[in-house]
Chains A and B, each alone.
Chain A
Amino acid sequence: MTTQDTRTADLVIVGAGPAGVSAAIEARWHGLSVLLLDENAAPGGRIWQALEARGAKDEDDADALRILQAFRGCEADAHWGATVWAIDPDGTVYWSADGATRSVRGAFVLLATGTTERPLPIPGWTLPGVMTVGAAQIALKTAGLVPTGATWMAGQGPLLLLYAVQALRAGGRFAGVLDLSDRRAKWGALPHLPRAMRALTDLRKGLLWWNQIRRARVPWIRASDLHAQGEGALSRVRFRTGGRIRVEPADLLLLHDGVTPSVQITRALGLAHTWDAAQRSWKPTTDEWGASSLANLLVAGDGTGVGGALAATFAGRLAALGAACKLGRIDVATRDAAAAPLRAARARHLALRPLLDALYAPRPPMLDDTTLVCRCEEVTAGQIRAAATIGALGLNQLKAFTRCGMGPCQGRMCGATAAEVMAAARGVPVEQVEPYRTRFPTKPLTLGELAALNEDA
């Protein structure tokens, strides 16, 4: 392999969100050498994106900024604008920055790559002017853009509430919010309320957001059967509410149906995954120190199951402690003593999760045949159903038969939906549908950049 950069590190961290930066701080504290890679220009991941540039707006932000400052001071070797595209089982990590690839071998590699948004495919969802709520939040945090005019939000989940509050605070306006959640989910959520009370602060926060949106008089509409419509770009939304159909002008539609762990890299590594029924997602199997089915490959944060930023910080620290002990920098007693309060704190912050998972339970999509599932290759739900009738049992045979999942996004946008459509067509539980097999490179690089790594004459 490439000989220009045969550097090594005790711990290589992919992702500078809450889990990644916390792991870096903890690892550096115990004397490990740390190399951290992130695609963005600064630390923070999604939830704390551009926080250093934006400044703190509330106490949560202030706490987060303190962690980022500690990270800056911990002397981890951080590389920004670095896109990881391959990882070898021996811990060699390849990344691309400025059109050239470098590599490092970590005794341990920690994946802290968080989540992607669950797709919410509706008719017309590929029209320009339809984006995710997460996208709008990124635009707000990095460029200060706010929604105006005829902006609609649709879907369900805490992020939808949070963004609404942030956008309103920044001077944005919404034409309305279409609540696509299951009305009966409230009842399914009730049993989880007692446990959720352990995270009283988080619970109160959520209610506060809800109240702020109400006070801003943003129309909150229980809806279903949403269509995005327009000729070449979004110009209206069509939905069913209160037993009738409404059509409203729209120039921006923001969709959200929760987030799901990023498994692109963990799948390409062939790691073991388990199905999380409550969150209706696959997640890599990890032990209490974040070790996956490959002992030197660690995973921490939302990538092991959605739990929120604070839970992620503790998970990152636990992973670093585990690595530090395995590398002989601390003994088992020290490790366990340090870990105990972290586990307790993490458990407290995860207490709200079962309630949220039930309240915002992802619903199996009901797509008509003409709705696109694979955005890249423009494959419809109908084509997926047809493939199931001629022998495609899972997503890999589906890919072969229809090109679904063969585009540049490598199935990130379509995998969850394709599995649901196929499961419904076959009459099996969705977790029985084999997911896409992904392989490195998991991010695009040019043939030239890859060719430059060739050592043969």
Chain B
Amino acid sequence: MLTRPESATLPTNDTLTVYFAGRPIAARAGDSVAAALLAGGITVTRQTPVTGAARGPYCMMGACFDCLAVVDGRPSVQTCMTQVRDGMRIDRQDGARGLAIEP
């Protein structure tokens, strides 16, 4: 799996917290949501609307659309193209999304 080494040498080390299915995940400013999830051991962000198969980040560059998740109540967000924000809530997107924005 992909992990963040203790001896990380990135100059920015503002840690912040995002939540996946209510569970807190440590992240850093500048992480994509997908990277933060992977570092937190999460590889499944959605179930496809075609067969319900589990999917997660694959290309990390916005081309495959497998990393979609519900971010702060907003469905179909490409987590690899979205930067983390402190307190961000991420949930798995299961099947076809609904239309109304969840409060």
Contacts and interface: CB of A to CB of B under 8 A. Distances in A.
B44 A378 contact: no
Nearest to A57: B9
A198 to B, nearest CB: 32
A378 B61 contact: no
Given A128-B56, A134-B61, A409-B63, A252 B2 contact: yes
B61 A171 contact: no
A116 B1 contact: no
B79 to A, nearest CB: 12
Interface in B43-69: 43-44, 48, 50-51, 53-66
Q: Which label, helix, strand, loop or mixed, suits the secondary structure of the B interface?
A: loop
A171 B35 contact: no
Contact of A145 (B12, B38, B50, B63): B38
A39 interface: yes
A145 B53 contact: no
A408 B5 CA distance: 34
A128 B8 contact: no
A363 interface: no
A106 B8 CA distance: 42
Interface stretch (A58-66, A147-155, A393-401): A147-155
Contacts of B88: none
A54 interface: yes
A388 B10 CA distance: 51
Given A171-B5, A251-B1, A131 B12 contact: no
Contacts of B76: 444
A208 interface: no
Given A148-B3, A233-B43, A409-B65, A143 B58 contact: no
Contacts of A443: 62
Contact of B58 (A132, A146, A150, A233): A132
B11 A53 contact: yes
Interface of B: 1-5, 7-12, 28, 30-32, 35-36, 38-39, 43-44, 48, 50-51, 53-66, 76, 80-81, 83
Interface of A: 39, 41, 46, 50, 53-55, 83, 116-117, 126-132, 134-136, 138-139, 142-151, 170-172, 232-234, 251-252, 375-378, 407-409, 412-413, 443-444
17 contacts: A41-B30, A53-B12, A117-B59, A128-B55, A129-B56, A135-B61, A142-B32, A147-B2, A148-B3, A252-B1, A252-B2, A375-B66, A378-B51, A408-B65, A412-B64, A443-B62, A444-B76
